[in-house]
Amino acid sequence: MVPVPFIILYLKKLATFLSQRSASATRIMDLLFERARRKAAPVEEFQWLGLMLFVAVPFPGTGAWTGAIISSVLGMPFWSGFSANFVGVVLAGLLVNLLMNLGLKYAVITGLVLFFLSTVMWGVLRSLKKSLNAK
């Protein structure tokens, strides 16, 4: 969590500074931002909740650093992005701790159940959002 505030606050400023200095830095920053935008689709839809759930998933590439980059790219307010990252990191830590204490067999079963629940949850959230927007 230590670099998260710095990433949220200064990533765009750093990218602008580096882009003015070097063409290769521009390409690297464009690649970084494009990758963050691809990962940000569900986050962009639900903002704080989406970012928190994205960071809470304990898979490679879905942690606090990526969450901070996504928060910066989407232009989320600082405290909103920081708190979503913090809650997501805490939930991911609790989930990994739980899975490690369950043992392999129960961890696999729990992982499958959580995958199913998250799929259903995203569907419910999307339908709720559509129904709220229709009103």
For residue 100, give the amino acid letter.
M
- Model confidence band, residue 53 (pLDDT cutoffs 50, 70, 90): confident
- Please report the pLDDT score of residue 26 as a whole number: 84
Residue-wise pLDDT for 6-51, tens only, equals 999 998 888 888 888 888 888 888 888 887 777 777 787 788 888 8
SS3 1: coil
Looking at residue 57, the DSSP 8-state letter turns out to be S
> Which pLDDT tens digit goes with each residue over 78-122?
999 999 999 999 988 988 888 788 887 888 888 788 888 878 887
Instruction: Name the phi and psi angles at 59, rounded to 5.
Output: -120, 155
Rounded distance between C-alpha atoms, residue 70 and residue 18, angstroms: 19
Confidence of residue 135 (pLDDT cuts 50, 70, 90): low
Tokens for 82, please give them: 């920081």
Distance CA 42, CA 99 (A): 25
**Over residues 65-74, mean pLDDT:** 88
- Evaluate whether 81 touches 69 at the Cβ level (below 8 Å): no
Give the separation between CA 135 and CA 131, rounded to whole angstroms.
7
Distance of CA 53 to the CA centre of its chain: 7
